[in-house]
């Protein structure tokens, strides 16, 4: 089995590719988190103008395929590092999905608690900070873990703009080991599977740690 | 005793439904005022207008002689000075009992953590819940949650406290513990307005009763007098629903 030897000898390359994929993932999830949270807050608490802008932006990002966004950002008429372009494009896309996770979580914080805070004389921004966001975090971890694994897989798309991540590694190997395409993809599939499982394991741990009575538990 | 709250000609309208019509009354320091009336009579709206949870359309609300809608008045400070207790408690689900009660002093009054904790412990003691400080709201019974929500309101050191049907969401066997906390507070001189269906409480604890019907104060006065000899037919009719008052 020549291909196994080759894969083993390429492990350092895959390790590098994995590191790049994880950096890309961290970057795009952060962009998506900040922008997604901003969209969610604007859609719920914003004035009509802000609300309209946030909803429109979210719908656009929601509807455009990630591949298109990747090429669009990469071919903008100024020089963007490949990695930065991929982080921005995939992060924009993720922000649409994350905004809906946060929006749902915020809306399930009971309006009675917001009213109680108001009746105590707490300002709106402080109510959001001390009452809404802490509960939102707990309610979001489950669906956010979904988004995490979905984006982990989508980092593979970044190979189209030349980011040397796992998928790019695979393509190189396939190019010089003719006929073993399925074996290489199988190996890469197992690699993504392992990364996803490790990631979700930690988010489940976090969810358990943040749990308090009164919030639903993942069964 | 000094007048603490004065309400003058309050009106409130939801679209084409006039919920409060020219409501005026006043309250002295240390008094307990019970507001009674059928569901939909406007009594909860009246309470919610007092701290502007609902904005009244016209009229004046004077807290210690100061118009709360006047220039330079921070509504949040006014709200902090009027404790509000909700029918369905509305405790903060993600916070422990201690943190719920500390919340006002810490986040609204800006007191230090240590001060906030001292105040909170004192108020939790007052409602008899010291053994539950580490619990979360979801772990308490309705009656216990309502007692904590009273403690949370008290921790702000309000000038008066507004109760919006504080026992209406409770099983009958749990209303007693809440009413006895409220009675003890009234005896300690806490000024309060209680919107309630508990006629026993209104009669025996309140210093003054307002009967409100279709947004109008039909009758107000001494509870013992009103329950014994209601002057208006509508009051008589309403009170006749509560047979075992004596």
CB contact under 8 A, B86 and A123: no
Backbone region of residue B190 per phi and psi (left: phi > 0; alpha: psi in -120 to 50; beta: other values): beta
pTM: 0.89
For residue B64, give every residue at least 6 positions away whose Cβ sits within 8 Å of its Cβ, in sequence order, or none: B2, B4, B159
pLDDT of residue B245: 54
List chain B residues with CB under 8 Å of A110: 90, 93
In order along its 219 residues, chain A shows pLDDT tens digits of: 788 888 888 899 999 999 999 999 999 999 999 999 999 999 999 999 999 999 999 999 999 999 999 999 999 988 889 999 999 999 999 999 999 999 999 999 999 999 999 999 999 999 999 999 999 999 999 999 999 999 999 999 999 998 988 998 998 888 888 778 898 999 999 999 999 999 999 999 999 999 999 887 765
Whether A191 contacts A153, CB under 8 Å:
no
Contact, B55 vs A79, CB < 8 A? Answer: no
Report pLDDT for A66.
94
For residues B212 and B14, give the distance between their C-alpha atoms in angstroms, rounded to a whole number.
Answer: 17
Question: Quick count: other Cβ atoms within 10 Å of Cβ A69?
Answer: 21
Whether residue A146 lies inside any domain: the answer is yes
| Beta carbons of B94 and A138 less than 8 Å apart | yes
Tell me whether residues B79 and A121 touch, CB distance under 8 A. yes
First to last CA, chain B: 30
Which fold does the domain B3-95+160-245 belong to in CATH?
A: Rossmann fold (3.40.50)
Q: Which H/E stretch holds residue A88?
A: helix A82-107
Q: Is B112 on the interface with A (CB under 8 A)?
A: no
Give chain A's mean pLDDT: 93
Contacts of A44 (CB under 8 A, 6+ apart): A103, A106, A107
pLDDT digit string (tens) for A153-200? 999 999 999 898 899 899 888 888 877 889 899 999 999 999 999 999
Q: Is residue A218 part of a domain?
A: no
Cβ–Cβ under 8 Å, residues B42 and B20: yes
In a domain, residue A189? The reply is: yes
Task: List per-residue pLDDT tens for chain B, 246 residues long.
Answer: 799 999 999 999 988 888 999 999 999 999 999 999 998 889 999 999 999 999 999 999 999 999 998 888 999 999 999 999 999 999 999 999 999 999 999 999 999 999 999 999 999 999 999 999 999 999 999 999 999 999 999 999 999 999 999 999 998 888 999 999 999 999 999 999 999 999 999 999 999 999 999 999 999 999 999 998 899 999 999 998 886 555
Strand locations in B80-199 (E): 82-85, 160-164, 192-195
* Count of pairs with CB atoms under 8 A, one residue in A, one in B: 72
The residue assigned the tokens 């309400």 is B7
Provide Rg for chain A, Cα atoms. Answer: 21
Q: Is A121 close to B53, i.e. CB distance below 8 A?
A: no
- Joined together, the tokens standing for residue B139 give 């772990």
Backbone angles phi, psi at B14, to 5 degrees: -105, 110
- Chain B CB contacts of A112 below 8 Å: 86, 88, 90
Counted domains in chain A: 1
Q: Which residues are CB-contacts of B243 (< 8 A; sequence separation ≥ 6)?
A: none
Contact list in A for residue B135 (CB cut-off 8 A) is 213
CB proximity A119 to B under 8 Å: yes
Residue with tokens 């741990």: A205
- Tens of pLDDT, residues A17-26: 999 999 999 9
Across the interface, of A116, A122, A213, the residue whose CB is closest to B86 is A116
The pair phi, psi for residue B218, each rounded to 5°, is -80, -40
Nearest to B136 among A126, A135, A214 (CB): A214
| Cα separation, A99 vs A43, whole angstroms | 9
Residue A115: list chain B partners with CB under 8 A. 53, 86, 90
Verify whether the Cβ–Cβ distance B88 to A112 is below 8 Å: yes
Rounded Cα distance between B60 and B9, Å, is 7
A-proximal residues of B, 55-84, CB under 8 Å: 75-81, 84
User: Where would I find the beta strands (DSSP E) of B37-149?
Assistant: 58-63, 66-67, 82-85
Residue B8: what are its φ and ψ, rounded to 5°? Answer: -125, 120
Contacts of residue A214 in chain B, CB cutoff 8 Å?
A: 93-94, 136-139
Interface check for A12 against chain B (CB to CB < 8 A): the answer is no
Residue of B nearest to A211 (CA): B94
Residue A155, in any domain of the structure:
yes
Alpha-carbon distance A118 to nearest alpha carbon in chain B (angstroms): 8
Residue B184 CB burial class (10 angstroms; 0-12, 13-18, ≥19): middle
The one-character DSSP state at B54 is S
Identify whether A216 is part of a domain. no
Q: Return phi, psi of residue B118, to 5°.
A: -60, -45
- The Cα of A32 is separated from the nearest Cα of chain B by a number of Å equal to 25
Q: How many residues does chain A have?
A: 219
The complex's ipTM works out to 0.93
Output the 3-class SS for B176-245.
HHHHHHHHHHHHCCCCEEEECCCHHHHHHCCCEEEEEECCEEEEEECHHHHHHCCCCHHHHHHHCCCHHH
CA distance B149 to B169: 13
CATH of residue A86's domain is: 1.10.3720.10
In a domain, A198, yes or no: yes
How far is B88 from chain A, CA to nearest CA, in Å? 8
Cα→Cα distances B84→A106, A117, A192, B8, B80, Å: 24, 10, 54, 21, 9
B149 chain-A contacts, CB cut-off 8 A: 116
Domain that holds residue A47: 2-210
Domain locations in chain B as residue ranges? 3-95+160-245
Q: Is the dihedral of CA B243, B175, B156, A124 positive or negative?
A: negative
A190 token code pair: 């197992």
Do residue B136 and residue A122 have CB atoms under 8 angstroms apart?
no
């Amino acid at each position: 089995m020549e291909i196994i030897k080759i894969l083993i000898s390429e492990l350092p390359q895959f390790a590098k590719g994995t590191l790049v994929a994880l950096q890309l993932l961290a970057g795009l999830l952060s962009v998506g988190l900040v922008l997604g949270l901003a969209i969610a807050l604007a859609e719920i608490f914003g004035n009509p103008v802000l609300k309209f802008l946030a909803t429109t932006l979210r719908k656009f990002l929601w509807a455009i395929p990630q591949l298109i966004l990747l090429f669009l950002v990469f071919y903008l008429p100024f020089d963007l590092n490949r990695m930065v372009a991929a982080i921005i494009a995939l992060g924009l896309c993720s922000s649409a999905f994350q905004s809906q996770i946060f929006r749902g979580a915020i809306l399930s914080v009971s309006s009675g608690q917001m009213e109680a805070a108001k009746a105590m004389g707490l300002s709106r921004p402080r109510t959001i900070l001390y009452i809404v966001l802490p509960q939102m975090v707990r309610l979001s971890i489950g669906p956010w873990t979904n988004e995490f694994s979905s984006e982990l897989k989508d980092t593979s798309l970044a190979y189209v703009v030349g980011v040397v991540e796992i998928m790019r590694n695979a393509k190189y190997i396939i190019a010089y080991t003719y006929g073993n395409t399925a074996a290489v993809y199988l190996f890469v599939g197992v690699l993504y599977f392992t990364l996803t499982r490790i990631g979700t394991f930690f988010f489940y741990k976090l969810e358990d740690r943040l749990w308090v009575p009164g919030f639903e538990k993942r069964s | 005793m000094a007048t603490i709250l004065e309400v003058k000609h309050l009106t409130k309208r939801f679209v084409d439904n006039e919920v409060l019509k020219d409501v005026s009354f006043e309250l002295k320091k240390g008094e307990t005022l019970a507001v009674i009336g059928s569901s939909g009579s406007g009594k909860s709206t009246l309470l919610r207008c007092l701290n502007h949870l609902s904005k009244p359309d016209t009229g004046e609300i004077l807290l210690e002689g100061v118009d709360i809608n006047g220039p330079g008045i921070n509504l949040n400070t006014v709200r902090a000075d009027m404790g509000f207790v909700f029918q369905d408690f509305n405790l903060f689900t993600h916070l422990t009992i201690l943190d719920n009660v500390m919340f006002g002093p810490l986040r609204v009054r800006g007191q230090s953590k240590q001060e906030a904790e001292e105040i909170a412990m004192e108020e939790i003691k007052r409602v008899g819940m010291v053994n539950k400080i580490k619990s979360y709201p979801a772990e308490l019974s309705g009656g216990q949650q309502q007692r904590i929500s009273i403690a949370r309101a008290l921790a702000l050191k309000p000038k008066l406290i507004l109760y919006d049907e504080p026992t209406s969401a409770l099983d009958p066997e749990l209303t007693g513990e809440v009413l006895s906390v409220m009675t003890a507070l009234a005896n300690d001189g806490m000024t309060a307005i209680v919107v309630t269906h508990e006629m026993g409480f209104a009669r025996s604890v309140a210093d003054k009763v307002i009967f409100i019907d279709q947004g109008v104060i039909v009758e107000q006065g001494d509870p013992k007098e009103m329950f014994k000899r209601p002057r208006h037919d509508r009051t008589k009719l309403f009170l006749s629903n509560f047979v075992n008052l004596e």
